[in-house]
Amino acid sequence: MTMMKQTMRWYGPSDPVSLLDIRQAGCSGIVTALHHIGTGEIWTKEEILKRRAEVEAAGMVWEVIESLPVHEEIKMHSGNYKKYIEHYKESLRNIGKCGLKVVTYNFMPILDWMRTDIAYAMPDGSKALRFEQSAFIAFDIFLLKRPNAEKDYTDTEIAKAKAHFNKMSDEEKKTLYHNTLLGLPGRDDKFSEEEIRADLKTYENIDAAKLKEHLFYFLKEVVPVAEESGLKMAIHPDDPPYPILGLPRVVSTEKDATEIINAVPSSANGLCFCTGSYGVRSDNDLPGMVNRLGDHIHFLHLRNTRRDEEGNFYEADHLDGDTDMFAVMKEIVLLMKRTGVEIPMRPDHGHQMLDDLKKKTNPGYSAIGRLRGLAELRGLELGVVRSL
């Protein structure tokens, strides 16, 4: 019986969720990275093997990296981008020699995922991640004061954001600012106001077409090395899957994903299929995407979101959002049955709940919420498998 490989993300020794916590959840694998190594630096075999040994000592395997970050100069084609591409290739060679299989990465400019609320209160008392459009516009125009930000929004959107901003207390404004500029998960560094403004300015002349061109150049350079090293490259979609802060996004739709696959035809060039990120857009047909793009899906993030017509969304229960998780799971099971490949998956962005409400956790990555999500997905998969 071909089943998904059940994993969870782990942010290393400082993660409040331990390796044994994850093993007790029923996972056989860990998804992690060398978060202590700076972006653009080479991952050495010694550091990779050290992390692998930690995981194996806890009775699990490390086959999927999330993430091997792409340096900003590669995305912009500026400065030392050729040097950083060579560093990336060397890291891939070392990763392959250490027996890992999948390298997850993204091509989002400057920021990783973006939320305005990292403790959104659910009716049952648990806390979820949420993106509120009016709060985000208020941050962009009135807190960050990005030059010409008003041009990206309608008069109605700006008026609503202004009303939202005027009702906020100083503490609420501080919290909003913090939430939107959390930086990369797993790292302690945060963006300052001066840094984010300066970084945004560097992308003034880079639109979606230019960023996509830079992505394709990067892939043409690194995919052959990944293939030679026995690795699968898996690009994560944009989160949220549309432009923010004037920055282009190029991995948001099925069309984007197809263009990426076709840019460098190779078994090593593929996707991290995130049902949460793709699912925020109503024009993405997720079961159909799995059916049509399945041969190129090397890693699965399974989570659900609930959206509205204004562009707001929050992380719903894994089986209770706008994405029909049964239909998605059925396509995944059919895909694995056809190919014989057990695709690694992880439950993503669980709610903070029960005892975890009293603990410090990485936003979206508390233990119990992900355990609940994994249990639900595990049962759904088995039910689909048995029904076919």
**Residue 307 dihedral angles phi and psi, to the nearest 5°:** -115, 165
DSSP state of 116: S
Residues 88, 217: Cα–Cα separation, whole Å: 13
Residues 320, 308: Cα–Cα separation, whole Å: 15
Closest listed residue to residue 374, CA positions, set 14, 54, 21, 11: 21
Q: Which residues contact 188 (CB under 8 A, 6 or more apart)?
A: none
- Catalytic choice (140, 348, 351, 356): 348
- Catalytic choice (301, 317, 318, 351): 301
| Helix/strand/coil percentages in the chain, nearest 5 | 45, 15, 40
164 carries an active-site annotation: no
Structure tokens at 277: 């990120």
203 carries an active-site annotation: no
Please give the sequence-ordered ranges of beta strands (E in DSSP) within the chain, or none if there are none.
5-9, 29-32, 61-66, 102-105, 117-121, 127-131, 232-235, 269-274, 297-302, 304-307, 313-316, 344-347
Residue 378's CB is within 10 A of a number of other CB atoms, namely 17
- Catalytic choice (214, 236, 318, 351): 236
348 carries an active-site annotation: yes
- Catalytic choice (274, 296, 314, 317): 274
98 carries an active-site annotation: no
Question: Residue 379: exposed, middle, or buried by beta-carbon count in 10 A (0-12, 13-18, 19+)?
Answer: exposed
Closest listed residue to residue 307, CA positions, set 242, 235, 377: 242
Cβ contact 356:369 at 8 Å: yes
Cβ contact 348:66 at 8 Å: no
Strand partners, 292: none
236 carries an active-site annotation: yes
- Catalytic choice (164, 349, 351, 356): 349
Cβ contact 312:132 at 8 Å: yes
301 carries an active-site annotation: yes
Per the omega criterion (within 30 degrees of 0), is the bond before 67 cis? Answer: yes
Instruction: Tell me the catalytic residues.
Output: 236, 274, 301, 348-349, 365
